[in-house]
Chains A and B, each alone.
Chain A
Amino acid sequence: MSLATQPVPTADKEMLISGCAAIAQALRLASIDVVTAYPIRPYDTVMQAVAKLIANGELDAEYIVACSEHDQFEIVKHASAVGARVFCGSSGVGWMYAMEAIAVTPALRLPMLALVGNRALDDPGAFGCEHNDALCVRDLGWLLTWVDTAQEALDTALIAYRVAEDPRIFLPCAIGADGAFLTHSEALVKVPSQEKVDQFLPKYDRGDKLLHPDNPITVAPQVNEDWVMEIRKQNDGAMRRAPGVIQEAYADFHRIFGRQGGNPFVEEYMADDADVILLGQGTLSMPVKVGVRKLREQGHKVGFVRLKWFRPFPTQEVQDALRGAKAVGVIDRDYSFGSPNYGAVLYNEVRSALYDLPQRPHVISFICGLGGREVTLDSVTEMSEILLKAAKTGRMDQPNYWIGVRG
């Protein structure tokens, strides 16, 4: 059967699919043009799901099996320059291997969507979830978001294309998806109709930056010290415009699909009146929310804030969400050895964002769930108790804790 005669789904349908398969559905709906693949767990689930869509005739895209992650990202970088909507991704050390290509993409202002199936950086060889892989691009000009559920993965992929390909932005976007917890767990997902998606997501138009014989341009010349700072300043400008464009996209998404109506940047859970708040990103929100409910039943005013966008970092939203608390615990599924207070990446970002508040809560760093270890209910209780004690006494015993480590 030729592609033209394939039936196109017209109505929303519910599917029991993994986070990676949900992303693949978003890619089908976004009618991507080029996808590159190189296997590494846990990202490879999405590459298999996309291959299946193409094989089934549901998606017409160039599927290029690259000879390394570096090539993967180089190929989509160039495809994006000639106007293709592209998808790419990797995990752990694979993402690191592509770093040269990843680092130059924001300066070229080439939009692309990448899935980082979060994985511990080998060694030791491990498959489990850690956020250090994706966080490596935090300073480079990538938009960076973490998702919590398969539904959010699908929705965020569509939103990410719209934001990344907005001519005001033209930046690459990475979606952090916790290895195993999100990438490999199947859940019921509402898959929207093509009509709705077409309403939401315009075609990628590179305008006068399109690399094409009819539009002769030079991209990425060698420059000296007279130019680099201005180019970095342009990147900074794009990142500063991103929060507004993200807000527009969420508002439109909510209008068309009826989902994602809350704050685009942070999800607040029982945090309004909370004395102490735990903050984290990704799938750890599930055990933390359960733990918070239990502690609330016991009369403790505990809340949770899930950070959805790491870049651009929503400084104002984080301040607003945390300003009423007496103590804040930042749960990092990553490490930053030797950083201030021997805390981790997210901790130092949040702590810095709160600095200008006239009355700052205590901020405590919890390093937890590394290498795919479960964030257990006991861990949530332990962290909450440390925070409650700090809130009660008005002082911290220590700024940093490793939670769930044997010893």
Chain B
Amino acid sequence: MTGSVEVVYRGIFQKHLGQRITRGIVLAAWKEGKVGVSFGRYGDSPERNGIPAKSFAVVADTEEELQAYLSRYEPSNNDVTVAVDDTLCKGVESWAWYGLQPINKLTRAGGTVLVTSMQSPEELLKDCHRKDAEWNVAIIKGISSFSGLWVFKDDHTDVRVLGAIAKVAPHVVKIESVEAVVRTEYGDELKVASARKAYERVGLRPVRPDEGNPEKPFEFQLPKWWEMKEGLVIPAIPVRQEVEGWEGGYRPGRNPTFKKFTTRTMRPVVDFETCTKCTICWMQCPDSCFDVTPTGHYDANMEACCGCGVCEAVCPVTDCITMVNEQAFEDNASQFEMHQKDPATYKTWLTKMIQDKVTTYRAHGFRYRGQYEEEIADLATAGIVGGTAGEEGPAAAVAEAAQRAQALRKAKVAQ
């Protein structure tokens, strides 16, 4: 019998996390006398900020079964698909040209998409694409665990995911072997307890084929060798797109088959009323994502924005551009068009978006030193992350972070 798990993660921020989860699965299966391999998809190039990438774990009872499964290029009937950031539920576009891949595309019928999220299954199903089979969604309550290329943030997300996998796919790994591996690998009983709690708390939400995002994701058909232009020549993308009703405006030409927006974990929200049309965001954007509107405003095009936050950093007007967590949005609609339609409604929407603690917390791209600690403390105070004894998650770490944040604030006030 074979079992497989894919972990969909964000490049750089979660490279270690993805690897630790798939390694943990194989090590746990090993404790049960099984064999297995853990590998990252090589073509993903996960050394790029936020780019969706994948890590796989395949386990089997025998070496022959394992080989039979692996001889296929990419495991495509996973028992569990793990999304360690809930914005990945909107679909993933790898660094390579694969089009937009629904998060559940490689999940087998009856399999489970396991997401770390503060959202409810119903909210996530607005993002997840429909599937021609029944499947399940399961949630590990928590915010996205993001760190860096050289560091790993030990907030127990890795072991909580392992514990939850043992619940939703016990034939892949059993909770006892997960606990045993966490104990031998990390020697930390708090982590063992986190794995067990996640195992106990996670539940399945069955999903019917008619539930989920009905949108058809964009696809890219690879050409035959004789259809490709010879000499490694690609026709350039036109400099400018003609857009009806945009006379006087300017929209740059963009690659229609490689959109990049699934790299985004936060997006700029623009206040067109305070904007001074200074052009700085437009010029500094590394992805040329701003469309120049006929009125001379700058509208961040959500098909092209990677969510890097440079525009927010360079904007000289307070709160004119604010980066907001991507999970707050369901589509890539133009903010400028929304504003044109009804400025008052837009103002209300904007105010809510940029003031809401849930939508403006940072998972990366912090504005100043100590912002992370402040946010964790605030989220704990608001009850958004578990911060009291007995809750799942690293209670001690959260409490400590809250203390540090308080100290920082005091220091600021003293200044």
* Partner-B contacts on A (CB < 8 A): 107-110, 170, 208-209, 216-221, 224-227, 229-231, 233-234, 237-238
Please measure, in the bound complex, the distance between the C-alpha atom of A49 and the C-alpha atom of B78, giving whole angstroms. Answer: 67
**B:205-232 near A, CB below 8 Å:** 222-226, 228-232
Q: Taking CB as reference atom, which chain A residue is nearest B232?
A: A220
Report B-chain residues with C-beta under 8 Å of the C-beta of A217. 233-236
Please measure, in the bound complex, the distance between the C-alpha atom of A82 and the C-alpha atom of B234, giving whole angstroms. Answer: 15
Asked if B231 and A108 sit within 8 Å, CB to CB, the answer is: yes
A164 to chain B, nearest CB (A): 13
Q: Does B96 contact A (CB under 8 A)?
A: yes
Report A-chain residues with C-beta under 8 Å of the C-beta of B226. 234, 237
Which among B42, B231, B235 has the greatest number of chain A C-beta atoms within 10 A? B231
Please measure, in the bound complex, the distance between the C-alpha atom of A227 and the C-alpha atom of B98, giving whole angstroms. Answer: 12
Report B-chain residues with C-beta under 8 Å of the C-beta of A220. 232
**B:96-114 near A, CB below 8 Å:** 96-97
Asked if A234 and B96 sit within 8 Å, CB to CB, the answer is: no
Asked if A230 and B224 sit within 8 Å, CB to CB, the answer is: yes
B338 to chain A, nearest CB (A): 34
Please measure, in the bound complex, the distance between the C-alpha atom of A109 and the C-alpha atom of B232, giving whole angstroms. Answer: 8
Report A-chain residues with C-beta under 8 Å of the C-beta of B239. 216
Report B-chain residues with C-beta under 8 Å of the C-beta of A110. 231
Report A-chain residues with C-beta under 8 Å of the C-beta of B234. 217-219, 221
Q: Taking CB as reference atom, which chain B residue is nearest A216?
A: B236
Q: Does B245 contact A (CB under 8 A)?
A: no
A130 to chain B, nearest CB (A): 33
Please measure, in the bound complex, the distance between the C-alpha atom of A237 and the C-alpha atom of B231, giving whole angstroms. Answer: 12
Report B-chain residues with C-beta under 8 Å of the C-beta of A170. 230-231
Nearest 3 A/B pairs, CB to CB: A109-B231, A216-B236, A230-B225
Report A-chain residues with C-beta under 8 Å of the C-beta of B42. 225
A196 to chain B, nearest CB (A): 31
Please measure, in the bound complex, the distance between the C-alpha atom of A209 and the C-alpha atom of B42, giving whole angstroms. Answer: 31
Asked if B233 and A218 sit within 8 Å, CB to CB, the answer is: yes
Sample 12 A-B pairs with CB under 8 A, ordered by A number: A107-B232, A108-B232, A209-B231, A216-B236, A217-B233, A217-B234, A219-B233, A224-B43, A226-B222, A231-B225, A237-B225, A237-B226
Q: Taking CB as reference atom, which chain A residue is nearest B223?
A: A230
Q: Taking CB as reference atom, which chain B residue is nearest A221?
A: B234
Report B-chain residues with C-beta under 8 Å of the C-beta of A218. 233-234, 236
Which among B43, B228, B232, B235 has the greatest number of chain A C-beta atoms within 10 A? B232
- Give the interface SS of chain B, mostly helix, strand, loop or mixed: loop
A78 to chain B, nearest CB (A): 13
Report A-chain residues with C-beta under 8 Å of the C-beta of B225. 229-231, 233-234, 237
B124 to chain A, nearest CB (A): 30
**B:384-401 near A, CB below 8 Å:** none
Report A-chain residues with C-beta under 8 Å of the C-beta of B223. 230
Q: Taking CB as reference atom, which chain A residue is nearest B238?
A: A216
Please measure, in the bound complex, the distance between the C-alpha atom of A237 and the C-alpha atom of B223, giving whole angstroms. Answer: 16
Please measure, in the bound complex, the distance between the C-alpha atom of A273 and the C-alpha atom of B96, giving whole angstroms. Answer: 60
Q: Taking CB as reference atom, which chain B residue is nearest A167?
A: B230
A228 to chain B, nearest CB (A): 10
A211 to chain B, nearest CB (A): 9
Asked if B228 and A230 sit within 8 Å, CB to CB, the answer is: yes
B96 to chain A, nearest CB (A): 5
Given contacts A217-B234, A218-B233, A226-B222, 10 further A-B contacts (CB under 8 A): A107-B232, A109-B232, A208-B233, A209-B229, A209-B230, A216-B235, A216-B239, A219-B233, A219-B234, A230-B223
Report A-chain residues with C-beta under 8 Å of the C-beta of B222. 226-227
Asked if A231 and B232 sit within 8 Å, CB to CB, the answer is: yes
Please measure, in the bound complex, the distance between the C-alpha atom of A220 and the C-alpha atom of B234, giving whole angstroms. Answer: 8
Report A-chain residues with C-beta under 8 Å of the C-beta of B228. 227, 230-231, 234
Report A-chain residues with C-beta under 8 Å of the C-beta of B231. 107-110, 170, 209, 219
A229 to chain B, nearest CB (A): 8
Please measure, in the bound complex, the distance between the C-alpha atom of A107 and the C-alpha atom of B239, giving whole angstroms. Answer: 27
Please measure, in the bound complex, the distance between the C-alpha atom of A217 and the C-alpha atom of B234, giving whole angstroms. Answer: 6
Q: Taking CB as reference atom, which chain A residue is nearest B73?
A: A225
A41 to chain B, nearest CB (A): 34
Report B-chain residues with C-beta under 8 Å of the C-beta of A234. 225-226, 228, 230
Which among B95, B96, B225, B235 has the greatest number of chain A C-beta atoms within 10 A? B225
Report A-chain residues with C-beta under 8 Å of the C-beta of B232. 107-109, 219-221, 231
A268 to chain B, nearest CB (A): 35
Please measure, in the bound complex, the distance between the C-alpha atom of A108 and the C-alpha atom of B239, giving whole angstroms. Answer: 24
Report A-chain residues with C-beta under 8 Å of the C-beta of B236. 216-218
Q: Taking CB as reference atom, which chain A residue is nearest B236?
A: A216
A53 to chain B, nearest CB (A): 30
Q: Taking CB as reference atom, which chain B residue is nearest A220?
A: B232
B400 to chain A, nearest CB (A): 43
Q: Taking CB as reference atom, which chain B residue is nearest A236?
A: B225
> B96, B224, B230: which contacts A226 (Cβ < 8 A)?
B96
Report B-chain residues with C-beta under 8 Å of the C-beta of A237. 225-226
Please measure, in the bound complex, the distance between the C-alpha atom of A167 and the C-alpha atom of B236, giving whole angstroms. Answer: 21
Please measure, in the bound complex, the distance between the C-alpha atom of A230 and the C-alpha atom of B222, giving whole angstroms. Answer: 10
Please measure, in the bound complex, the distance between the C-alpha atom of A229 and the C-alpha atom of B222, giving whole angstroms. Answer: 12
Report B-chain residues with C-beta under 8 Å of the C-beta of A224. 43, 95-96
Please measure, in the bound complex, the distance between the C-alpha atom of A233 and the C-alpha atom of B223, giving whole angstroms. Answer: 13
B92 to chain A, nearest CB (A): 15
Report B-chain residues with C-beta under 8 Å of the C-beta of A230. 223-225, 228
Which among A220, A229, A234 has the greatest number of chain B C-beta atoms within 10 A? A234
